[in-house]
């Protein structure tokens, strides 16, 4: 197993880069979120494509790629935080300079559509990245939770994270325990990577899955794809984060039924209910580090993501 690179921790006074690798953020909301970065003692640089719009994308693929490269190359920038997700980060994965990123390791933070970048950077740059709430889509909102804010502390010092039912109620679908690198993120992006060179190695890993605005039958379809492609038999355990119904969901079928169908008697630990994903609080976690899932005790322990 490759030993991934932990990026250097942030310090007060550091500069972070803000990019929009996928869809365009709303300018007013993004501006509102900058006060939070100020409260952390951080300065910022905003990528050139952040204010652009190309159909449903924040500028062209090349413009968004240029921002990603520029922030990793810039020695003043100590970390990169995504403004929002949406759609589009997978469109330029084959053009990323992964060796350059490996030679300039730094904090990279986001989730949702950013899962495509997490997986690719994990595979080809050997860098630990962070699945956490984004600026325009989360931090700027009135319901941004204090726990979500508190978890940014893991960027400033090496913190071992512990999740149990004091954070949220958890459900065990399959008992036991397992240790392995925590990988994954948005289920739609994981499923769409299968069959490409950007699908990660799942062997012995703890797989995190979350999603939003998907009906239970769509979640069933994506889990079927993971099962039929051999992913589920290769992982060491499953960490099920937040799944949010579409606004027009009528309640005829439920995610719990899907998870029970796939994971009752699974033979490996599976726990759901983690507030990780499109939710508040959003419990931010590093990806690529070793984690320990105890499905009987309903606990998840994750090693620090920074040096």
Q: Which of 89, 137, 174, 210 is catalytic?
A: 210
Q: Decide if 210 is catalytic.
A: yes
Which pair of structure tokens corresponds to residue 137?
Answer: 């889509």
Evaluated on CA atoms 125, 226, 286, 33, the torsion sign reads positive
133: nearest Cα among 81, 184, 88: 81
d(CA 36, CA 51): 20
Task: Give the pair of three-digit tokens for residue 190.
Answer: 């994981």
Task: Name the catalytic one among 23, 112, 137, 193.
Answer: 112
Largest Cα–Cα separation, the chain: 53
Task: State the CB neighbour count (10 A cutoff) for residue 97.
Answer: 16
Q: How far is CA 296 from CA 109, 144, 260, 299, in A?
A: 31, 31, 16, 8
The active-site residue out of 118, 122, 131, 278 is: 278
Q: Is 148 tagged catalytic?
A: no
Determine the Cα–Cα distance for residues 260 and 71; give it in Å rounded to an integer: 43
Q: 211: closest CA among 109, 111, 301, 116?
A: 111
Identify the sign of the CA torsion 25, 62, 278, 4: negative
Residues with a known catalytic role: 112, 210, 278
């Amino acid at each position: 197993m490759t030993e991934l690179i932990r990026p250097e921790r942030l310090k007060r006074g550091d500069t972070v880069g803000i990019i929009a690798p996928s869809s365009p953020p709303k300018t007013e909301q993004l501006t509102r979120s900058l006060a939070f970065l100020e409260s952390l003692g951080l300065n910022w640089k905003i990528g050139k494509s952040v204010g652009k719009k190309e159909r449903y994308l924040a500028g062209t693929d090349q413009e968004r790629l240029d921002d990603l490269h520029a922030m990793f190359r810039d020695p003043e920038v100590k970390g990169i935080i995504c403004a929002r997700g949406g759609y589009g980060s997978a469109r330029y994965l084959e053009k990323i300079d992964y060796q350059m990123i490996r030679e300039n390791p730094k904090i990279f933070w986001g989730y949702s559509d950013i899962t495509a970048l997490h997986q690719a950077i994990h595979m080809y740059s050997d860098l630990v990245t962070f699945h956490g709430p984004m600026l325009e889509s989360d931090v700027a909102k009135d319901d941004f939770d204090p726990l979500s804010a508190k978890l940014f502390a893991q960027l400033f010092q090496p913190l071992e994270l512990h999740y149990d039912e004091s954070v949220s109620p958890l459900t065990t679908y399959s008992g036991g325990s397992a240790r392995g690198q925590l990988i994954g993120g948005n289920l739609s992006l994981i499923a769409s990577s299968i069959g490409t060179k950007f699908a990660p190695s799942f062997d012995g890993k703890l797989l995190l899955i979350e999603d939003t605005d998907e009906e239970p039958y769509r979640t069933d379809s994506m889990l079927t794809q993971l099962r039929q492609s051999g992913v589920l038999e290769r992982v060491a355990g499953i960490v099920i984060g937040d799944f949010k119904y579409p606004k027009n969901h009528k309640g005829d079928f439920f995610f719990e039924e899907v998870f029970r169908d796939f994971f009752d008697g699974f033979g490996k630990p599976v726990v759901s209910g983690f507030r990780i994903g499109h939710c508040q609080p959003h419990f931010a976690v590093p990806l690529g580090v070793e984690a320990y899932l105890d499905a009987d005790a309903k606990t998840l322990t994750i090693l620090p993501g920074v040096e």
